[in-house]
Amino acid sequence: MVALALDNVGAAYGKAKVLSDVTLSDLKGGSVTAIIGPNAAGKSTLFKRIAGLIKGPGLVELSGTERGSRSICYMPQDTGANAVLTVYESVLLSAKQGSGWRVADDELAEIDAILKALHIQDLGFRGLGELSGGQRQLVSLAQALIRRPEILLMDEPTSALDLHRQIEVLSFITDLAKRDGMIVLIALHDLNHALRYCENTIVIAQGKMAASGATPEVITTGMLRDIYKIDARVETCSRGSPMVIVDGAI
Ligand SMILES: Nc1ncnc2c1ncn2[C@@H]1O[C@H](COP(=O)(O)OP(=O)(O)OP(=O)(O)O)[C@@H](O)[C@H]1O
C-alpha cells in the first residue's frame, strides 16, 4: 500500500522562508486529509514541496508506490487555461505527460469515462478559453485523474463550483481514494467540507503545522479562535454531523 511521510519539511522562496518543520507520520492509501489554514499560511507551498516542484529542507518519504515521485499529482489552485486546446486535447495531453505519443483506444475510452464521471462529456470539443471558471476547474480535475495518481494533492478543488458540484466532486474523490487506495490531500477553506469528507486534518498557520489529527478533534472552537480569529461554534446538526457555525470575526 502507498504511504507518505514528511520529516521536518520546509520551503523558501529566495530568502523568504515560508514553511518549516512540517512532520507527519504515515499517511496511508485510501485516506483523505484536509489541509486548512488562513490565506498565505503555506498550504500550496507544502503541496509544491511534496510534489517536488520546489526544493527545501527535510524529507518527503514515499513507500509502496509503483512510479515513485511520478505517482504524485498536484492539481493547482489556479489553472491557467491554454485557450488553444480543447477540453479533450488538454486531458489527453495530461495523460501523455512523460510517455510516448501513441494513443491507444483504451486511453481514449478512459478519457471519455472520466469526462462522463465528472458530467463534462459535452464539453469535450469546446476550447478551454470558452469555459466558465467552474467548468475549467472540472477539466483540471479530469487532467489530474487521467494520470491515475497514487497521491493526489488538490488545492481548493471546489472553490469555483456550485454547491451541487462541490458535493458531487468531493464524494467522487473520497470514493475513488477508498476504491483505488489513493492518498488524497485537499486544501480547503470550507471547514464543513473538511468535517464531512476528510477523516484527518492538518492545520498550517504562518508556515508551521499548528495541529493535526482526526478532523473533529482538530476543528474546534479554540482552533477557530486562535488560528482563524473568529468566534465560532462546532455544533451537531439535526442529522448528527458536526458543523461550523460562525458568529463573527474577533
Ligand atoms: N512563487 C512565489 N514567490 C514568492 N513568494 C511566494 C510564492 N508563492 C507563494 N509565496 C508566498 O508564500 C507564502 C505562502 O503562500 P501559499 O500560496 O503557500 O499560501 P496558502 O496557504 O496556499 O494561501 P491561500 O489560502 O491564500 O491560497 C505567502 O506569503 C506567499 O506570498
Q: Residue 149 in contact with residue 107, Cβ under 8 Å?
A: no
For residue range 54-82, what is the model confidence (pLDDT) as tens digits? Answer: 999 999 999 998 877 779 999 988 766 66
Question: What's the pLDDT score for residue 94?
Answer: 83
Residues contacting residue 113 through CB under 8 Å, at least 6 positions apart: none
Distance of CA 203 to the CA centre of its chain: 14
Question: Which single residue is written with the C-alpha cell 458568529?
Answer: 247
SS3 letters for 216-250? HHHCCHHHHHHCCCEEEEEEECCCCCEEEEEEEEC
29 Cβ below 6 A of ligand 1:
no
Question: What's the pLDDT score for residue 29?
Answer: 96
53 Cβ below 6 A of ligand 1:
no
For residue range 145-154, what is the model confidence (pLDDT) as tens digits? Answer: 999 999 999 9
Q: What is the ipTM of this complex?
A: 0.99
The residue whose C-alpha atom lies closest to atom 3 belonging to ligand 1 is 13
44 Cβ below 6 A of ligand 1:
yes
Question: What's the pLDDT score for residue 77?
Answer: 83
Quick check: 174 pLDDT over 70? yes
What backbone torsions phi and psi does residue 79 show, to the nearest 5 degrees?
A: -110, 75
This prediction's pTM: 0.93
Question: What's the pLDDT score for residue 62?
Answer: 94
Q: What CA–CA distance (Å, rounded) separates 114 from 121? A: 8
39 Cβ below 6 A of ligand 1:
yes
Question: What's the pLDDT score for residue 80?
Answer: 64
3-state secondary structure of 115: helix
How many helices (DSSP H) and strands (DSSP E) are in the chain?
A: 8, 11
Q: What CA–CA distance (Å, rounded) separates 71 from 65? A: 7
Question: What's the pLDDT score for residue 165?
Answer: 96
Question: What's the pLDDT score for residue 194?
Answer: 98
Residues contacting residue 148 through CB under 8 Å, at least 6 positions apart: 180
Using a 10 angstrom Cβ sphere, with 0-12 exposed, 13-18 middle and 19 or more buried, the burial of residue 122 is exposed
- Please state the rounded mean pLDDT for residues 153-166: 96
The residue whose C-alpha atom lies closest to atom 26 belonging to ligand 1 is 39
What is the number of the ligand 1 atom nearest to the C-alpha of 19? 14
Output b/e per residue, 34-70; b: 16+ Cβ within 10 A. Answer: bbbbeeebbbbbbbbbbbeeeebebebebeebeeeee
Question: CB count, 10 Å around CB of 225?
Answer: 13
Question: What's the pLDDT score for residue 82?
Answer: 64
Domains and CATH numbers, the chain: 3-219 (3.40.50.300), 220-250 (no CATH)
Identify the H or E element spanning 11. strand 3-13
Using a 10 angstrom Cβ sphere, with 0-12 exposed, 13-18 middle and 19 or more buried, the burial of residue 175 is exposed
Question: What's the pLDDT score for residue 96?
Answer: 74
- Across all residues in the chain, what is the average pLDDT? 92
Question: What's the pLDDT score for residue 163?
Answer: 97
Percentage of the chain with pLDDT > 90? 80
76 Cβ below 6 A of ligand 1:
no
For residue range 97-144, what is the model confidence (pLDDT) as tens digits? Answer: 766 666 677 778 989 999 999 999 999 999 998 999 999 999 999 999
